[in-house]
Amino acid sequence: MAVLVVLLVLLLTKPGFSQSNNHDKNTNLIAMRCGRGTLISLPNFIKNRNSTFNELRMQLLSKGVLYARAQALSAGDSVFAVVQCRNYLSVDQCVACFDDSVSKLFNCTSGNGGFISFDNCYVRYEDYADFYNDPYVMEDANGIPTLLCGNQSASQPTVFNQVVDEFLSDIRDATPKTSNLYVASTRQITSENATVYVTGQCVEGINEASCQICMNAAYDILNDCLPNTEGRFFHLGCFARYSDTPFFNVNQTIDITSFLKGHSSKVSIIAAAVGGVVLICLILLSWLLYRSWKKSKKTEQVHYNYKDLQRATNNFNEENILGKGGFGEVFKALLDDTNVVAVKKLQIQHDGAKEEFENEVMLISNIHHRNLLRLHGWSIEGSYVLLVLEYMANGSLDQFLWAPEYALRGVLSEKVDTYSFGIVTLEIISGKRSTEVKFDSQSTDYLLENVR
């Protein structure tokens, strides 16, 4: 029994990585994620993970390289791992960044992997062979990119924006054409007496077309940082950064002129044209959705207690009904004796509907518009689901609509639905009924004729 305990302790023990301070002072944590997949055995997975970390570190030191990968496949919980440092680093700086990364990844105590990105390096481990063999698989291409912007604006924003935008455009075009998919360059801003430092790097092993796709997204998204003097873009396929503060030595720059004049092969152009547009759209859409969510996440939905809502509506008394429909009823509710809300009571009729309902609530809770009722929260009890909505004191729209011209005039055609929709729209805009004629003493026209 004692032997088993000792073995378990050894498996769960972190390998001895030094916490060296020999790293760039500008290093920042950009992104980190822990995996959520299930495992056969957590101790076995941790053992394999630690084994790959030790192997990666040994490769960096013994081979003097800035990129390494390792795998451990024993006991069913396989681990594939990679580390990639920026090419302007020394090996010692790379190892220091790797050690910092590993120390944080040890906080991922469950799940089937994780990744972390600093300014100077990127480390990933996962029970997922596809990313190991193809660094830009479809699952990674659809991931949400990360953007970090500085908090200081350029003194002359117009000039700074123009120079940096053109510079980032050149980096975007040059990076995929280099032999190691990496560039670092500088450019002068004469009017500000400043120098801009920019780097672009795609993950090792990626092809030129996929690198171009990722760098296109980097260029588009990094423009959101301007006119701030610093910006960072990270995606599982590439990394890009610009700053008016040096983060590499000027003797480490690469002349990108020849790459800007060169042309890609027809095969690369075709591949980029076919797959590029779709993947760029996916990356940008993911970024826009994420940014929209980030701006609105301060207003989160509340999970209300069913009994509290039952009391607030006086046990869903008919006297509190605001309206009825084919799928449920809406009640006026008084919360905390002061807060008036509308409670919509729906009934779930099929299996799986609760999960669908919760997913839908998570989506619409972040949609805000002055002409839409705001969702405050929700509750589920048995076969009933309740939506807690903003209360509108002006009544229901059906009190003001009355789309009965057929009953009055007896005219019906295949265009009646389109016509009726137009009439309803006019009623909403004007606040008048379709058959009302009391516009003024001189007119006896109905709504439609009066509008005409």
User: Considering only the top CATH level, what class is 10-133?
Assistant: alpha beta
Helical (H) or strand (E) element with 218: helix 208-222
68 backbone dihedrals φ, ψ, rounded to 5°: -155, 155
Same fold, 10-133 and 302-390: no
Neighbours of 124 (CB within 10 A): 26
In sequence order, what are the beta bridge partners of 125? 81, 114
Best CA proximity match to 106, nearest among 191, 189, 205, 15: 15
pLDDT at 449: 74
The ranges assigned to domains in the chain are 10-133, 146-296, 302-390, 400-451
**Distance, CA of 47 to CA of 12 (rounded, Å):** 7
- Per-residue burial over 264-295, b if 16 or more Cβ lie within 10 Å, else e, is beeebeebbeeebeebbebbeebbeeeeeeee
* 17 in Cβ contact with 99 (< 8 Å): yes
Q: What are the contacts of 330-339 at 24+ separation with CB within 8 A?
A: 330/389, 332/391, 333/309, 333/388, 335/308
CA angle centred on 249, ends 243 and 254, rounded to 5°: 85
Q: What is the mean pLDDT of each run of 10 residues along the chain (452 residues)?
A: 41 42 59 84 89 96 95 85 95 95 90 90 87 64 81 91 94 94 93 90 89 92 94 92 93 89 52 61 70 56 81 88 77 84 77 61 63 76 80 65 55 65 80 66 66 76
Residue with tokens 């029994």: 1
pLDDT at 195: 93
Classify domain 302-390 by CATH number: 3.30.200.20
- Per-residue burial over 222-255, b if 16 or more Cβ lie within 10 Å, else e, is beebbebbbbbbbbbbbbbbbbbeebbeeeebbe
Architecture of domain 146-296: 2-Layer Sandwich (3.30)
CA distances from 189 to 86, 154, 166 (A): 25, 11, 12
pLDDT at 265: 47
